[in-house]
């Protein structure tokens, strides 16, 4: 064994090289361990026969390097090992040259990301509750409350801006309740015209109106024994508010054209982006109905008030779109993350999801770059907010802290609250910059 091979075998990263015909000319011990293929088996074979990588067919990173002369660094892909298991890895490539500087092949290093991916999944479990994701104190408090809310069987009112995930919370309450084996029926009160709303909720009998050719059950009947989710309940017209109150009080419905009331056993979970207390004061929402639906109240914070959840949500959506679009995207670059952290997200989690879907469509793989994000996210940032491409974690941390201080007018307690850290931690970090 040559001294060069000894050095390569001492590395924890897999290393292999190929000649101009793509046949493997070196293969270290770490490469054997990660792929499950021995050096003897690998030598002389085409690299695509050994690795079965997700990019071998159309987007070979090594071929790209040999054609452009530019190395690929830290690209996330997956390979299939000798036993058929998918192994996530990150790769870097370089050109191999002879003594005269002529390209005679290429070399690639790769690192097994299996443990990193396993740790990420464990982290997700800690901060995920029925598809609701968050590590912020407000979300952790919600996770703690949901089981008791579900068990109570009481009517629930979920309030929060559009895109904060109100239906996810409603579904979580249903799935945790004794009604989970029965239907969960959702209806958006703002999406239906007033003339159809009563029929949709309570149903109708044949002949009740011109187009009523046969009996049709309403959403209350469809949800019998289960849960009815009334989204945007603040948009109900006054006449429907009165009828809904009667249903909640007496647990009976009257289908249009019907003669007798029909008993229903339904738990109602309502949601709205409106401030219903203000609507009550304006007399646009019935006070008695407000107190009837707000037996248990849940307030969902906007994303701008829980920015420490953004990296978790990014990881979640990247994983989802990676499968849906079959693209090897490992995450977001430092600049892209900075842009996402600096944005206020008036559309909340839904806007973040759509921004990442937009980025996936434009991304060529590896890391999502800031230029892949929609202009609505990146266009409003001031120059200097994004760090250089090679920013360290410490530099990124300082950038976020300085941005939070600027947004909060220099108030350290407010900045610490936004960042989700203790004020003493913030003071210590600022002090370290001065030393």
> What distance in Å separates the CA atoms of residue 310 and residue 298, rounded to the nearest whole number?
21
Question: 219 and 290 share a domain?
Answer: yes
**Tens-digit pLDDT profile for residues 87-114:** 888 888 889 888 888 888 999 998 887 7
Residues 270, 378 share a domain: no
Select from 64, 81, 113 the last residue of a domain.
113
Q: Which of 35-49, 357-371, 400-414 has the lowest mean pLDDT?
A: 400-414
Last residue in a domain, options 266, 301, 336: 301
- CATH number for position 239: 3.40.50.300
Confidence bin at 333 (pLDDT 50/70/90): confident
pLDDT, the chain, mean: 84
Pairing between β-strand 75-80 and β-strand 86-97 as defined by DSSP bridges: antiparallel
Question: Distance between CA 186 and CA 227 in Å, rounded?
Answer: 8
For 74, residues 6+ apart whose C-beta sits below 8 A from its C-beta are 90, 91, 92, 366, 367
Are residue 106 and residue 143 in the same domain, yes or no? no
Which among 87, 113, 139 is the end of a domain?
113
Same domain, 332 and 282: no
Residues 380 and 429 in one domain: yes
Sign of CA dihedral 118, 124, 125, 131: negative
pLDDT of residue 365: 77
Give CA–CA dist 108/110, Å, rounded: 7
* Mean pLDDT value of segment 313-337: 85
The answer on 194 and 50 residing in a single domain is no
The answer to whether residue 66 is domain-embedded is yes
Q: Which domain holds residue 65?
A: 3-113
Based on the fold, state whether residues 330 and 406 are members of the same structural domain: yes
Asked if the structure places residue 415 within a domain, the reply is: yes
Asked if residue 121 is part of any domain, the answer here is: no
Compute the distance between CA of residue 38 and CA of residue 44 in angstroms, rounded to an integer: 12
CATH number reported for the structural domain that contains residue 310 in this entry: 1.10.8.60
Q: Is the pLDDT of residue 381 over 50?
A: no
For the chain, the 3-state helix, strand and coil shares in percent, each to the nearest 5, are: 45, 20, 35
Listed residue (80, 98, 89, 91) closest to 35, CA to CA: 80
Asked if the model's pLDDT at residue 176 lies above 50, the reply is yes
- Residue 238 maps to a domain: yes
Q: Which 3 state secondary structure label does DSSP give 357?
A: helix
Residue 193: pLDDT over 60:
yes
Query: CATH number for the domain including 60?
Result: 3.30.450.20
Instruction: Give the orientation angle of helix 334-342 with respect to helix 310-325, to 10 degrees.
Output: 120
The DSSP letter of residue 201 is H
Number of domains in the chain: 3
User: What sections of 18-57 are H helices per DSSP?
Assistant: 29-35, 39-42, 47-51
CA 372 vs CA 336, 358, 363, 375: distances in Å? 8, 7, 6, 9
CB 81 within 8 A of CB 87: yes
- Together in a domain, 297 and 316: no
Higher local confidence (pLDDT), 295 or 128: 295
């Amino acid at each position: 064994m040559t001294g060069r091979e000894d050095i390569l075998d001492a590395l924890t990263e897999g290393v292999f090289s190929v000649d101009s015909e793509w046949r493997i000319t070196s293969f270290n011990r770490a490469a054997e361990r990660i792929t499950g293929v021995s050096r003897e088996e690998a030598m002389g074979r085409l690299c695509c026969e050994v690795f079965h990588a997700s990019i071998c067919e159309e987007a070979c990173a090594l071929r790209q390097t040999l054609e452009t002369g530019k190395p690929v660094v830290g690209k996330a892909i997956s390979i299939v090992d000798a036993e058929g298991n998918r192994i996530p890895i990150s790769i870097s490539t370089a050109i191999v040259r002879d003594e005269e500087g002529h390209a005679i092949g290429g070399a690639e290093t790769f690192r097994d990301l299996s443990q990193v991916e396993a740790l990420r999944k464990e982290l997700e479990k800690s901060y995920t509750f029925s598809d609701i994701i968050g590590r912020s104190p407000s979300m952790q408090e919600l996770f703690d409350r949901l089981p008791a809310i579900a068990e109570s069987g009481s009517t629930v009112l979920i309030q929060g801006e559009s895109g904060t995930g109100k239906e996810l919370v409603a579904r979580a309450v249903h799935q945790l309740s004794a009604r989970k084996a029965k239907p969960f029926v959702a209806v958006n009160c703002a999406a239906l015209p007033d003339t159809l709303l009563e029929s949709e909720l309570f149903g109708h009998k044949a002949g009740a109106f011109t187009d009523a050719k046969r009996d049709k059950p309403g959403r209350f009947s469809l949800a019998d024994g289960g849960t009815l989710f009334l989204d945007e309940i603040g948009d109900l017209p006054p006449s429907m508010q009165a009828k809904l109150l009667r249903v909640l009080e007496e647990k009976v419905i009257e289908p249009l054209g019907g003669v007798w009331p029909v008993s229903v056993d339904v738990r109602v979970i309502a949601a709205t982006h409106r401030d219903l207390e203000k609507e009550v004061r304006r007399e646009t929402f019935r006070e008695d109905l407000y107190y009837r639906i707000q037996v248990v109240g849940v307030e969902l914070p906007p994303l701008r008030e829980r920015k420490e959840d953004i990296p978790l949500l990014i990881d979640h959506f990247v994983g989802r779109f990676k499968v849906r679009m079959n693209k090897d995207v490992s995450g977001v670059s430092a600049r892209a993350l900075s842009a996402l952290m600096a944005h206020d997200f008036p559309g909340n989690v839904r806007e973040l999801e759509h921004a990442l879907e937009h980025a996936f469509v434009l991304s060529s793989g590896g890391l999502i770059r800031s230029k892949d994000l929609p202009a609505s996210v990146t266009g409003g940032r001031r120059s200097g907010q994004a760090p250089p491409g090679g920013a360290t974690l410490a530099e990124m941390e300082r950038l976020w802290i300085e941005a939070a201080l600027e947004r909060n007018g220099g108030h350290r307690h407010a900045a610490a609250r936004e960042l989700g850290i203790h004020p003493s931690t913030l003071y210590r970090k600022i002090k370290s910059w001065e030393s």
